[in-house]
Structure 1
């Protein structure tokens, strides 16, 4: 099983989220949007719990406490606000992080599609999404076909720079 820091996510086919680089890449205009590592850790927790409410204490623990820091509720709220803002700048037209009053936050499972990928190589700027085994295209699962498209998109980002 891959380490979660070795995973990248495609959100609603519009934004690539690279947690290991604290980075969103817009598929609309190829722009990169850097976020704080604490925000990245919080978003990974929300993604892993896609469709389930993540409470304040879970976010405090993952975002800060596991790294030896204590923060105020205001810091958590600012982090969620900044995530929403950066996701919007990266091309998501809808707010994917919904507030559940007095409970926490959730990424809606009905309106948000999140696909997970395991890149093979983080050494360069390119996000390499090559499958580990060669499989005839006709027998490829849908996610693997999309992974190849994502790889081609990531390469076009590098060549455009």
Structure 2
């Protein structure tokens, strides 16, 4: 079975292919990476209700969600937003940030969900489709144009391109313009020239923070260039994700992500 989302009567998200496409201009198609597609599916299925960051971690990365940094989640939400902007050819806000709670899909844009097997163009007149008339018409308008356009060579090309973009974004500086993640962190003082912030979901005393930074000096390297460090410990503080940023102003902020691991 394949899940198809009809969005605002003009876009369709085909979960099996992780493809977002325009019904008005079927040539406008974006292939999302797997975690990004899973997060988008969770937002669409919620139909305008808030989906917490914890729920998105689990939806996008399954059992390995505890090893995912906040920056990775924000990057995937940003990829989904860019896909909507390109496919819809507009600056409308499809995914809305709810500060300190999570994200939601714009409730002013109706979403219709259909679970169906893959349908070919020749199925249009088949009498075997025993669905209500409205649902059948929706499937004819959404699935058929998509299948006509997503031939195998083009699909492979888009998947490879999306993977390269994701890998590049994960290991290079990114501008944090859409989400002010700093609200999830508490200031913990200075260390080795860096301003230290600890994720509010973690409980670290001043002594524990100092011990962590002493054991892992790499967290506070390069403070002259990126002086702000936003730290999220995992696995009983054995694994640490952190963001190194140059400013708290989200419009101009430049950050890079890092990962450190202690010996167990």
2:36 corresponds to which of 39, 57, 75: 39
Work out the CA distance in 1 between the residues paired with 2:40 and 2:127. 25
* Equivalent residue number for residue 211 of structure 2: none
CA shift, 1:29, in A, is 2.0
* Structure with larger RCO (C-alpha < 8 A, sep 6+): 1
- Is the CA contact (8 Å cut-off) linking 1:15 and 1:92 kept in structure 2? no
The TM-score normalised by the length of structure 1 is 0.76
Work out the CA distance in 1 between the residues paired with 2:101 and 2:127. 39
2:137 is equivalent to residue 145 of structure 1 = yes
Q: Which runs of 4+ in 1 moved over 4 A?
A: 128-132
The TM-score normalised by the length of structure 2 is 0.49
Where do 1:9-88 residues align within 5 Å?
9-30=5-26, 31-67=28-64, 70-88=67-85
More divergent stretch after superposition (89-98 vs 71-80): 89-98
Where do 1:51-130 residues align within 5 Å?
51-67=48-64, 70-91=67-88, 93=90, 94-109=92-107, 111-121=108-118
C-alpha RMSD over aligned residues? 2.9
CA shift, 1:28, in A, is 2.7
| Structure 1 unmatched runs, 5+ | none
More divergent stretch after superposition (112-121 vs 72-81): 112-121
- Count of aligned pairs: 148
Q: Which has the larger radius of gyration?
A: 2
